[in-house]
Amino acid sequence: MKLFKKAKFLKIIFNIMPVTTMVALIPIIKNDYLLTAIDMGIIVLMLMIKKEKRDYQFL
């Protein structure tokens, strides 16, 4: 049971990391086009790492 809780916790952390990274980059990067490109790169990277059945449906 403990292993299940740990796996669930890691899944939540893994899903939160890209969002917090993208939000944290807003005050650092002033160029909106560069920020958009970096955010798109993060999204593509996360889709390549973790694929679920309907991920591409919303793009």
Which has more pLDDT, 7 or 26? 26
Residue 4, in any domain of the structure? no
Residue 37, in any domain of the structure? yes
What does the chain come to in residues? 59
How many domains is the chain built from? 1
Residue 22, in any domain of the structure? yes
The label of the residue with tokens 């890209």 reads: 18
Residue 30, in any domain of the structure? yes
Q: For 14-46, how does the pLDDT look when each residue is reduced to its tens digit (9 = 90+)? A: 889 999 999 999 999 999 999 999 999 998 888
Residue 17, in any domain of the structure? yes
Residue 42, in any domain of the structure? yes
Q: What is the model's pLDDT at position 10?
A: 85
**pTM recorded for the entire structure:** 0.70
Residue 41, in any domain of the structure? yes
Domain extent at residue 30: 13-51
Residue 39, in any domain of the structure? yes
